[in-house]
Amino acid sequence: MIEKNSRRPYTADTIENLMNPSDLKKLNPLQAQLQYVFQDRELLIQALTHRSYAHEHGDPGTAHNERLEFLGDTVLGVVLSHLLYQRFPDLSEGELSKLRAGLVNEQQLKQLAQGLKLGKYLRLGRGEEVTGGRKKSSLLADALEAVLGAIYLEGGYDQASRLIRDLYRLHLEAGETVSGQALDSKTDLQEYCQGCLKTTPTYEVIREEGPAHQKVFYVKVRIGNQIIGQGKGHSKKTAEQQAAERAMVKIRKREVVSD
């Protein structure tokens, strides 16, 4: 158990890290927002558990949310691809890919997670707690994907699809993604490589630094054997995005060999 620390006061609105299966009533407001009640409540707790919590407790049996995040990310991509395919029948594959990228980037997922007040339900290690982990984009985005993965795992595709439709309803009905097209650099880079160079960029984690609750990933992106960009971030996605962004700057300045 984590003891309360006078330097880290808790509020009545915060789900404390002391949460365990006997405290499950604290999750009822979240389940009401999700419009889904878990039969296996520990699955929801796992989706809300950051690896810093599991690492800090030193218990191999403490499951964190990274595997569920992997599953939820895939489900989210499939459902949104289907929705965009239906919503915009005249758009090309490339245009649909751009729209999807704008809907699943870290900042967009953070906003959706904040709408669910997901941050206050997270189980975090002390390091993440004191450094504002409940408001971090990467943690919120990952937790939302993990919750989607948990719902898919227990409730199936229909339940996960229903929630994703609800979360993105306003975006799709307004069609704002068509005019905005807030594209990510990874999509831009992939389109350039496939269209102009007939190849696909590859990303590689160079190294990881820091403790589990504050890990920093360093990533490089290649075109063939040429390193064209590097980036870092508190998640692999953020680091890859930065690497791709820097690569696109070089490409626009014609600093990348194209043969």
Domain boundary among 132, 152, 180: 180
Residues 76 and 108 in one domain: yes
Range of the domain at 111: 21-180
| pLDDT score recorded for residue 105 | 87
Domain boundary among 132, 159, 180: 180
Residues 38 and 130 in one domain: yes
| pLDDT score recorded for residue 15 | 40
- Out of 73, 106, 184, 240, the active site residue is 73
CATH of the domain at 61: 1.10.1520.10
Residues 49 and 151 in one domain: yes
Number of domains in the chain: 2
| pLDDT score recorded for residue 60 | 58
Residues 138 and 220 in one domain: no
| pLDDT score recorded for residue 177 | 45
Residues 142 and 205 in one domain: no
Catalytic status, residue 73:
yes
Residues 99 and 167 in one domain: yes
Residues 133 and 197 in one domain: no
Q: How far is the CA of 140 from the CAs of 28, 88, 145, 204, in angstroms?
A: 19, 29, 9, 24
Give the separation between CA 35 and CA 155, rounded to whole angstroms: 12
Residues 149 and 207 in one domain: no
In a domain, 13, yes or no: no
Strands of the 202-209 sheet, one edge to the other? 202-209, 216-223, 226-233
In a domain, 11, yes or no: no
CATH of the domain at 217: 3.30.160.20
| pLDDT score recorded for residue 145 | 97
In a domain, 4, yes or no: no
Contact 105, 182 (CB under 8 A): yes
In a domain, 176, yes or no: yes
In a domain, 2, yes or no: no
Residues 124 and 145 in one domain: yes
In a domain, 12, yes or no: no
Q: Which helix (H) or strand (E) holds 5?
A: none
Domain boundary among 180, 209, 224: 180
Give the separation between CA 7 and CA 237, rounded to whole angstroms: 32
Catalytic status, residue 188:
no
- Out of 145, 184, 188, 240, the active site residue is 145
Using DSSP's 3-state secondary structure scheme, residue 231 falls into: strand
Q: Is the dihedral of CA 194, 196, 198, 201 positive or negative?
A: negative
Residues 175 and 194 in one domain: no
Using DSSP's 3-state secondary structure scheme, residue 230 falls into: strand
Q: List the pLDDT tens digit at each of the 259 positions of the chain.
A: 233 332 233 233 334 443 554 466 789 999 999 999 999 999 999 999 998 888 887 665 678 999 999 999 999 999 999 999 988 887 778 778 888 888 898 888 999 999 999 999 999 988 888 889 899 999 999 999 999 999 999 999 999 999 999 999 877 765 544 434 444 678 888 888 888 888 999 999 999 998 877 788 999 999 988 999 999 988 888 889 889 988 988 887 776 655 4
End-to-end Cα, the chain, rounded Å:
58
Residue type (1 letter), 144: L
Residues 246 and 149 in one domain: no
| pLDDT score recorded for residue 258 | 54
Residues 166 and 59 in one domain: yes
